[in-house]
Amino acid sequence: MTNNDTAPRIAIAQAGAHVGETVTIPGWLYNLRKSGKIAFPLLRDGTGIIQCVAVKSALPEALFETIIGLTQESSIVVTGKVRADARATGGYELDLEDLEVIQRVPESDPYPITPKEHGIEFLMDHRHLWLRSQRPHAVLRVRHEIIKAVRDYFDSNGFTLVDTPIFTPAACEGTTSLFEVNYFEDEKAYLTQSGQLYSEANAMAFGKVYCFGPTFRAEKSKTRRHLTEFWMVEPEMAYAGLEDVKRVAEEMIVFIVHRVLENRRAELKTLERDIAKLEAIQAPFPRIHYDEAVKILNAKGSPIEWGGDFGGTDETLLVQDYDRPLMVDGYPTAIKAFYMAPDPDRPEVALGVDVLAPEGYGEIIGGGQRIHDLDLLLRRIEEHNLPKEAFNWYLDLRKYGSVPHGGFGMGIERCVSWLCGLEHIRETIAFPRMLYRIRP
Ligand code: 4AD
Ligand code: MG
């Protein structure tokens, strides 16, 4: 008996539209429970999980034997009738009529990830397989939703997507975290740390732009917030200042959080995320100046002095009193990147802003207004010991129709980590690259 040729082929997520029908679903064996004359193969296909019911008396003997001998993660194509069952995971079950084995995982070399608990290093070493489990699956679906929301936000607010190069001749975010690569014979190139400098050129051509791609930091930081390769979305706007940057950052974050709440409740539940914490994310976000932040930190016992940069612990202390992201502006110019515009009334502080996520997730966004005066920018390039020749094209932007402009960068993985409520950034991307991990 086989219905494989005639039954419609569906995905598990579509089961609800086929109640009472016989369908075929290709997938993998997630788990198998059996008790004598009945077996319950749990099928997963990437869209969901459905329990199949195989009754010995209703099936050819050889087929039932095949089913009860199945091993975890064997690839199988099942055919059966969909039945609604309120108690079942996903709400449906499949009364099994046929099953085709595509590849059976041998007992001699079983699937390494079993339903028992595994250590994180073991799971990371088997990341290529671990992605099939429910937790990583849920995280990556939230990630997809965030990326889609980011694109939808900019696409529907007048921004043009103009992507920027990955091989670059110069540093954007400081020379200490550059990955150098050989670019043919005598040339050195660096993997981009940020698309910003190119986005500035693009903004002068298109008005409002964003780039969205992988960025690289050779940072020797082994923390739960740092990757060496991460994805960043970077909007840039001509005729814009610090306040515009803050407004767009706030709007974008609220938009993303709402989308995730709207479309990814099931995944958040799998991750046991406290939804109420996300529902609290509404505009306006609190805004404080760096001066005030230092005072708050000192009052909470941090030894930080005016002029210093905030560490992870400081960021956590700062957001403690808020239920939504905190915007801190006016950091000392001396600790910020060469391109940051100084506050005209107080040049020792910059027109830059960091957005710190609540619950101790730290900085998710950095940005601000850029220097648009040619002489000042030249001075900064010298002070930072950057090679002027590599920045000639960037300086052109200040010679030909220079205007106040600004933008920001949001690290996607930091955002995923926060919205999913994760302990560590390594779970936010399919194959993380970190100080001590470049495999699988
Ligand atoms: O604050 P950053 O270094 O700012 C820039 O690169 C600017 N050029 C962006 C701009 O204005 N267009 O990085 C921006 C964001 C951080 O707030 C953080 O979310 C993320 O990028 N980020 C990292 N994420 C993961 N691992 C790392 N090592 C990261 N470094 C920065
Ligand atoms: Mg930063």
ω into 440 cis (within 30 of 0): yes
pTM over 0.85? The answer is yes
Q: Where in the chain is the domain with CATH 3.30.930.10?
A: 127-428
Name the CATH superfamily for 127-428: Bira Bifunctional Protein; Domain 2 (3.30.930.10)
Q: Which residue has the tokens 């679903």?
A: 25
Query: Nearest ligand to the C-alpha of residue 203?
Result: 1
Q: How far apart are CA 1 and CA 58, in angstroms?
A: 11
What pLDDT was estimated at residue 4?
53
Q: Which residue has the tokens 């540093």?
A: 171
State which amino acid sits at residue 434.
M
State which amino acid sits at residue 405.
H
Concatenated DSSP letters of 326-357: EEEE--BGGGS-TTBPEETTEEEEESEEEEEE
Residue 313 C-alpha to ligand 2 middle, in angstroms? Answer: 15
- How many alpha carbons fall within 13 Å on the CB side of residue 224? 13
- List all residues whose CB is within 6 A of at least one atom of ligand 1: 172-173, 194, 196, 217, 219, 226-227, 230, 232, 234, 363-367, 407-411, 413-414
Q: Where in the chain is the domain with CATH 2.40.50.140?
A: 12-103
What pLDDT was estimated at residue 5?
67
What CATH code is assigned to 12-103?
2.40.50.140
Q: How far apart are CA 187 and CA 191, in angstroms?
A: 13
What pLDDT was estimated at residue 191?
97
User: What phi and psi, each to the nearest 5 degrees, are found at residue 115?
Assistant: -60, -10
What pLDDT was estimated at residue 208?
98
Of 154, 191, 227, 230, the one to substitute when testing ligand 1's pocket (max ligand atoms within 8 A of C-beta) is 230
Q: Which two tokens stand for residue 61?
A: 């003997």
Residue by residue, pLDDT tens for the chain (440 residues) are: 444 568 999 999 999 999 999 999 999 999 999 998 999 999 999 999 999 999 999 999 999 999 999 999 999 999 999 999 999 888 999 999 999 999 999 999 999 999 889 999 999 999 999 999 999 999 999 999 999 999 999 999 999 999 999 999 988 888 889 999 999 988 899 999 999 999 999 999 999 999 999 999 998 888 999 999 999 999 999 999 999 999 999 999 999 999 999 999 999 999 999 999 999 999 999 999 999 999 999 999 999 999 999 999 999 999 999 999 999 999 999 999 999 999 999 999 999 999 999 999 999 999 999 999 999 999 999 999 999 999 999 999 999 999 999 999 999 999 999 999 999 999 999 999 999 999 99
